[in-house]
């Protein structure tokens, strides 16, 4: 190919699209000038130097011509765009507006309830140390409670947190000389789960922690009641059942009265499907902070006591919006999500 042929090909392009085709044909990965340069290596040694110089010269000439033509065509395109009259009657483009995710809606409502009770919102890292996630919460390496929260481990021994309870530890460590503490901490957690309608491998939790002098189980129950009435509505009742967590003593499981059958277990003469006829919905764990956990972070358990709780907002959202499967919240299904 001669320099003249290159010039003709480039100036022959009448639009930016055509010019792009010419560019690919000449200097693209499989373009003729690129090939020419590549073939230089196959020539006898005596010819290589002059053939290489010629191939380079043509390639540089092509690139310069392409650059010049690009500037000309761009300027022409801008000029023609500016001279086209603006049609003010043309229909507008509808912008798709995003909206809050149902789990965020529930978290916001919960935070609002706690904010009114004087709580502050605390944050914690999603990648947590084993010590904060387990050991400081009385769950040593060999403790069977680790099985309930099986997870993935990262190099160096850290892990994607399995619950938000590690934030209790971090916050108490940072504020042990600045009591009382009243916090909630929403965030994502990760577990190696067998997924089903009530379990996904990554989900949200909202943790709560209060530490002060004279805090009792009655304070915990009153707080949980206020929380559930705030999110599920007036008349919602709360029931505490004995449970076990290594970091609370005593530990409880909290049930709220069913929003569908109002705690009767019966709808239209049949057993309520949402609560399986029990009248109660299991929503989270709670308890009085274990004295050893207070000691672990340097707080005197003789003088201070506290309560903590951890809830799953997906489960609350599923109940509030009557969604049968918590995994639905995290599928990329806009038909579902656009309902909120
Ligand atoms: C805990 O995670 C404790 N850390 C809660 C706690 C905090 C107890 C403070 C005492 C003091 P549990 O594993 O039960 O407990 O989870 C708490 C809530 O998270 C459950 O009630 C449920 O609402 C939600 N949850 C648990 N696993 C899943 C899952 N796989 N998918 C969706 N939600 C889940």
* Residues recorded for the chain: 340
Mean pLDDT confidence for 217-238: 93
Closest ligand 1 atom number to CA of residue 307: 11
Write out pLDDT tens, residues 308-339: 999 999 999 988 998 888 899 999 998 999 99
Structure tokens at 3: 């320099």
Ligand 1 center to 164 CA (angstroms): 9
Of all protein residues, the one whose alpha carbon is nearest to atom 23 of ligand 1 is 312
Task: Name the DSSP letter for residue 65.
Answer: H
Q: Considering only CA atoms, which of 301, 303, 307, 311 is closest in space to residue 281?
A: 311
Ligand 1 center to 206 CA (angstroms): 9
Ligand 1 center to 286 CA (angstroms): 9
The DSSP string of 97-159 is P----HHHHHHHHHHHHHHHTT-EE----SEE-HHHHTGGGT--TT-GGGGGG-----TTS-E
Ligand 1 center to 57 CA (angstroms): 70
Q: Compute the C-alpha angle 112/132/138, nearest 5°.
A: 105
253 and 240 in contact (C-beta within 8 Å)? yes
Confidence category of residue 102, pLDDT binned at 50, 70, 90: very high
Check if 187 has its Cβ closer than 6 Å to any atom of ligand 1. Answer: no
Mean pLDDT confidence for 35-39: 92
Closest ligand 1 atom number to CA of residue 148: 13
Euclidean distance between CA atoms 245 and 98, whole angstroms:
39
Strands, E assignment, the chain? 120-121, 127-128, 159-160, 181-190, 202-212, 238-245, 248-257, 266-267, 270-271, 280-289, 305-311
Residue 91 exposed, middle or buried by CB count within 10 Å (0-12, 13-18, 19+): exposed
Closest ligand 1 atom number to CA of residue 208: 9
Check if 208 has its Cβ closer than 6 Å to any atom of ligand 1. Answer: no
167 and 319 in contact (C-beta within 8 Å)? no
Q: Which stretch of 53-57, 90-94, 187-191 has the lowest confidence by average pLDDT?
A: 90-94
Closest ligand 1 atom number to CA of residue 164: 4
Q: Considering only CA atoms, which of 310, 308, 117 is closest in space to residue 206?
A: 310
Check if 284 has its Cβ closer than 6 Å to any atom of ligand 1. Answer: yes
Write down the mean pLDDT value for the chain: 93
End-to-end Cα, the chain, rounded Å:
63
pTM for this predicted structure: 0.74
Q: Compute the C-alpha angle 95/109/244, nearest 5°.
A: 130
Structure tokens at 192: 């190696």
Ligand 1 center to 188 CA (angstroms): 12
pLDDT of residue 1: 84
């Amino acid at each position: 190919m001669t320099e003249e042929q290159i010039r003709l090909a480039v100036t022959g392009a009448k639009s930016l699209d055509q010019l792009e085709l010419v560019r690919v044909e000449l200097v693209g990965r499989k373009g003729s000038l690129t090939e020419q340069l590549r073939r230089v290596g196959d020539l006898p040694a005596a010819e290589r130097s002059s053939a290489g110089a010629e191939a380079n010269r043509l390639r540089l000439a092509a690139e310069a011509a392409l650059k010049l033509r690009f500037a000309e065509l761009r300027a022409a395109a801008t000029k023609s765009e500016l001279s086209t009259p603006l049609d003010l009657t043309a229909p507008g483009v509808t912008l798709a507006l995003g909206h809050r995710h149902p789990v965020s809606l529930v978290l916001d409502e919960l935070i609002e309830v706690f904010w009114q009770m004087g709580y502050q919102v605390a944050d914690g890292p999603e990648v947590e140390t084993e010590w904060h996630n387990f050991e400081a919460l009385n769950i040593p390496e060999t403790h069977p409670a680790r099985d309930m929260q099986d997870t993935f481990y990262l190099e160096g021994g850290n892990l994607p947190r399995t619950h938000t309870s590690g934030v209790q530890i971090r916050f108490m460590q940072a504020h042990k000389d600045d009591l009382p503490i009243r916090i909630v901490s929403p965030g994502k957690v990760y577990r190696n789960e067998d997924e089903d309608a009530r379990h996904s491998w990554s989900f949200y939790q909202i943790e709560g922690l209060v530490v002060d002098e004279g805090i009792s189980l009655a304070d915990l129950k009153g707080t949980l009641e206020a929380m559930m009435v705030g999110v599920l509505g007036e008349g919602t009742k709360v029931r505490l059942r004995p449970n076990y967590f290594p970091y609370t003593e005593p530990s409880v499981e909290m049930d709220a009265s069913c929003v569908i059958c109002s705690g009767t277990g019966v709808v239209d003469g049949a057993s309520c499907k949402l609560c399986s006829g029990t009248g109660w919905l299991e929503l989270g764990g709670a308890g009085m902070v274990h004295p050893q956990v207070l000691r672990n972070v340097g707080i005197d358990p003789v003088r201070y006591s506290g309560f903590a709780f951890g809830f799953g907002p997906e489960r609350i959202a599923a109940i509030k919006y009557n969604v049968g499967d918590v995994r639905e919240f995290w599928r990329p299904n806009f038909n579902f999500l656009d309902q909120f």
